[in-house]
Structure 1
Amino acid sequence: MNWGMRIVVGLGTFMLLIMGAGIYMVSHDTDSLVDDDYYEKSLAYDDVYKRKQNVIEDKAKPMLQLEGDTLSIVFTEETNKGELTFRRPSDGKLDLKVPLYTKSNVFRLPVSTFSKGNWTLEILWEHEKRNYLDIQSLFLQ
């Protein structure tokens, strides 16, 4: 085999390798950082912005306290209802939603079954027909 044929075979092999890698990457798309319904969420961002502004205007930012294996969320007002969303940045399969209802200003949740590490806690709640949203980082040890 002469050197010209070796170049053609080498280029052909390289092209097949690149095409195979491209097909593999497209068929195994596992991007867990993007929500499936990101378009719908972007259309409703005005509501998210208003909820965050309500937290700032009313000085209603809840305080997180981790005492042993119990997470306490201290609200500024009593009688809150809503939803807690725990998001794990490293693994979207561990994300969890918990309903929230409290007559006092403290909500307690056992977190002993949660994986250790970084979590993003999204607190979505309503108090006296006013809606709020707060997002905080949480590190469980």
Structure 2
Amino acid sequence: MDWGKGILLTIIAFVGFIMTLVVISVRQDDIHLVAENYYEKEIKYQDQIDREVSASTLDREVLVFDGQEKAMILDLPVGAKGSLQLFRPSDARLDKNLPLEITSEGKTKVPLQDLKSGYWRVQLTWTENGVDFYEEKKITL
């Protein structure tokens, strides 16, 4: 075999390798964005910072994870409204959004037994006395 054939075979092998990578990348269907509307969220990010600052000024821990019972414990006053988002970074199909409206005194327990085990980000957004708050916990079930 001479140099010409060797170079030609090398180029053909390289093109075949690149085409294989292209086909594999096109066939992937499990690519998930963190959020579908991330441009809108970026524009409203200052509001998010304000909610986090408001939550940090509270004198109580609002969002607590109980690992033994696999539950989130929320310490919110009566009349607070908001949402609890259970965010799975590795698979957006497992995400859940639970609306909240506190109607009774005491701490509220949200069971998490039906969630798939692994890493989760629990994001609580609520309104209390006309002020918006946000708190986030990273948990592993």
TM-score by length of 1: 0.82
Give the SS at the match of 2:24: helix
Residues in 1 aligned to 2:70 and 2:19: alpha-carbon distance in whole angstroms? 50
Q: Deviation at 1:93?
A: 1.2
Q: Does 1:110 align with 2:111?
A: yes
Unpaired stretches in structure 2, ≥5 consecutive residues: none
Task: Give the equivalent residue in structure 1 for 2:94.
Answer: 94
Unpaired stretches in structure 1, ≥5 consecutive residues: none
More RCO (CA 8 Å, sep 6+): 2
Q: Report sequence identity in percent.
A: 24
- How many positions carry a matched residue from both structures? 139
Q: Could you say what the CA RMSD is over the residues aligned between the two structures, in angstroms?
A: 2.2
Q: Does 1:139 align with 2:137?
A: no
TM-score by length of 2: 0.82
Give the SS at the match of 2:121: strand
Query: What do the CA deviations read for 1:55-85 (whole angstroms, capped 9, x no partner)?
Result: 123345414142525432223x443110000
Pairing of 1:66-85 with structure 2 (within 5 A): 66=66, 68-75=69-76, 77-85=77-85
Q: Deviation at 1:124?
A: 0.3
Residues in 2 aligned to 1:110 and 1:34: alpha-carbon distance in whole angstroms? 24
Task: Give the equivalent residue in structure 2 for 1:47.
Answer: 47
Q: Deviation at 1:123?
A: 0.2
Q: Does 1:16 align with 2:16?
A: yes
> Whose strand fraction is larger, Structure 1's or Structure 2's?
1
1:61 and 1:134 in contact (8 A); partners too? no
Q: Which runs of 4+ in 1 moved over 3 A?
A: 58-61
1:122 and 1:133 in contact (8 A); partners too? yes
Residues in 2 aligned to 1:122 and 1:60: alpha-carbon distance in whole angstroms? 17
Kindly provide the amino acid, as one letter, of the partner of residue 125 in structure 2.
L
